[in-house]
């Protein structure tokens, strides 16, 4: 500001002196007592009257006053800007204090409580996991009698295999895919339900076979039990699609009645479980059946003539202790 003011004064002074300068002084004796002397760039001496000097002085004062007014306006504008910023900052601080007092996050949602759960690394980022479950069961009955069920003759089995692979994209959290195959077979030669002399149901040559193929994507999170590096809990969120075909029939010969069925199944659910490491790279896992929502579509064709369909949806969030899966998982 000082440099700008000095430049204005210098330019204004020089301009006015040039405009009001008199003729060159012939000799020093010709100078009057009330005159003002100005020396040019060539060394020539000029005489300036008192009136011209007053005009120059007044002009300079006017320029100084204008520059001071401009500087005052700039200072006032800057002060107002800083005051507005301070007011906004105070308002923001007040809102932040009110939010913290109410226990809200910056987005306005309730703030989570720190429950002191240690974020211990149970399985580090960058590891692969692979494993699966396999189950097989069979049965055979020969002239079996149980309460009101008489003369049961039959055999059957159930087979299930479900391999999976996943990758830990962050500590204790893995994403992966799972495939599965289920096969159910039943051949019932005779079945007699005796509820009294007037109510007796008899079934012969009952046959049932079903194949089901499924694929699912999952997200699994682990949490160690305390400080343990051996035992941990996990929860798996799973989205599964399954496609199946099956056929069932009753009777034989002219009394034969057969039905072919196609099914589509969509399942969204969770499967909690427990893992226990038996070596540094392998663990035994125990999990319960999937809890969640299930949507199923069925289409049937009976005797290649009649058709039927069925659509069901259900939600299940109960833990079934009779539906426990045990498997091995390897960490690479």
Whether residue 249 is found in the same domain as residue 156 = yes
**What is the average pLDDT across 178-192?**
86
Q: Which residue has the higher pLDDT, 23 or 249?
A: 249
- Give residues with Cβ within 8 angstroms of 244, minimum separation 6: 182, 210, 211, 212, 213, 262, 263, 265
What string of H, E and C letters represents the secondary structure of 165-182?
EEEEEECCEEEEEEEEEE
Tell me how many domains the chain contains: 2
123 lies in some domain: no
Same domain, 150 and 273: yes
Quick one: pLDDT at residue 15?
A: 45
Q: Classify residue 62: in a domain, yes or no.
A: yes
Q: Report the candidate in 147, 149, 255, 145 with the shortest Cα–Cα distance to residue 202.
A: 149
Mean of pLDDT over the chain: 78
Together in a domain, 40 and 143: no
Q: What is the pLDDT of residues 218-236, one digit of tens each?
A: 999 998 888 888 999 998 9
CATH number at residue 295: 2.40.160
Which has the minimum average pLDDT: 6-10, 189-193, 296-300?
Answer: 6-10
How many percent of the chain have pLDDT more than 90?
A: 19
Q: What does the pLDDT look like over 253-311, one tens digit per residue?
A: 667 778 889 999 999 988 888 999 999 889 988 887 777 888 999 898 888 788 888 88
Q: How far apart are CA 83 and CA 95, in angstroms?
A: 18
Question: Does any domain span residue 24?
Answer: yes
pLDDT of residue 23: 47
Smallest Cα–Cα separation from 136: which of 155, 158, 115?
A: 158
Q: Of the candidates 84, 102, 120, which is a domain's last residue?
A: 102
Q: Are residues 142 and 223 in the same domain?
A: yes
Task: Kindly state whether residue 110 falls inside one of the protein's structural domains.
Answer: no
Residues 147 and 95 occupy one common structural domain: no
**Of residues 161 and 10, more confidently modeled:** 161
Query: pTM value?
Result: 0.57
* pLDDT tens digits along 241-257: 999 998 888 777 667 77
Residue 25 has pLDDT above 50, yes or no: no
Coil/strand/helix, residue 80: helix
pLDDT above 70: residue 116: no
In a domain, 116, yes or no: no
Given a contact cutoff of 8 angstroms between Cβ atoms, the answer to whether 166 and 195 are in contact is: no
Distance, CA of 199 to CA of 201 (rounded, Å): 7
Looking at the structure, do residues 248 and 199 belong to the same domain, yes or no? yes
| 53 and 172 co-located in one domain | no
Residues 97 and 163 in one domain: no
Determine, yes or no, domain membership for 119.
Answer: no
pLDDT at 9: 45
pLDDT given for residue 320 in this prediction: 64
Whose structure tokens read 């039905």? 259
By DSSP bridging, strand 231-250 and strand 128-146 are unpaired
Instruction: For 55-111, write each residue's pLDDT tens digit.
Output: 777 888 888 888 888 888 888 888 888 888 888 888 888 887 777 776 666 665 666
Mean pLDDT of 29-52: 57
Do 296 and 205 lie in a common domain? yes
Distance, in Å, from the CA atom of 25 to the CA atom of 19, rounded to the nearest integer, reads: 16
The boundaries of the domain holding residue 78 are 2-102
Whether 38 and 178 share a structural domain: no
CA distances from 53 to 23, 60, 146, 190, 317 (A): 15, 11, 135, 136, 102
Residues 327, 185 share a domain: yes
The answer as to whether 111 is a domain residue is no
Q: Is residue 118 part of a domain?
A: no
Is there a single domain that holds both residue 83 and residue 135?
no
> What pLDDT score does 3 carry?
46
């Amino acid at each position: 500001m000082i440099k700008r003011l000095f430049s204005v004064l210098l330019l204004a002074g020089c301009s006015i002196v040039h405009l009001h300068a008199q003729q060159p002084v012939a000799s020093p004796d010709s100078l009057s007592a009330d005159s003002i002397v100005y020396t040019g760039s060539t060394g020539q001496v000029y005489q300036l009257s008192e009136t011209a000097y007053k005009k120059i002085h007044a002009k300079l004062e006017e320029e100084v006053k204008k520059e001071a007014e401009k500087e005052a306006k700039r200072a006032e504008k800057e002060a107002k800007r800083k005051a507005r910023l301070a007011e906004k900052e105070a308002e923001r601080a007040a809102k932040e204090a009110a939010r913290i007092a109410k226990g809200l996050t910056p987005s306005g949602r309730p703030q989570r409580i720190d429950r002191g759960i240690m974020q211990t690394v149970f399985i580090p980022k960058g590891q692969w996991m692979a494993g699966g479950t396999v189950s097989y069961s069979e049965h055979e009955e020969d002239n079996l009698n149980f309460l009101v069920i008489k003369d049961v003759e039959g055999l059957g089995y159930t087979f299930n295999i479900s391999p999976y692979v996943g990758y830990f994209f962050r500590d204790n959290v893995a994403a992966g895919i799972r495939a599965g195959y289920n096969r159910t077979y039943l051949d019932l030669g005779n079945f007699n339900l005796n509820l009294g002399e007037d109510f007796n149901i008899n079934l012969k040559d009952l046959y049932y076979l079903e194949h089901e193929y499924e694929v699912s994507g999952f997200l699994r999170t682990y949490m160690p039990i305390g400080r343990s590096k051996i035992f941990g809990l996990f929860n798996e969120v799973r989205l599964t699609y399954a496609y199946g075909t099956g056929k069932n029939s009753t009777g034989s010969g002219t009394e034969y009645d057969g039905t072919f069925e196609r099914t589509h199944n969509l399942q969204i659910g969770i499967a909690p479980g427990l893992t226990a490491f038996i070596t540094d790279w392998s663990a035994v896992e125990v999990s319960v059946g999937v809890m969640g929502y299930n949507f199923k579509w069925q289409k049937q064709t009976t005797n290649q003539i009649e058709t039927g369909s069925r659509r069901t949806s259900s939600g299940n969030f109960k833990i079934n202790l009779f539906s426990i899966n045990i498997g091995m998982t390897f960490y690479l």
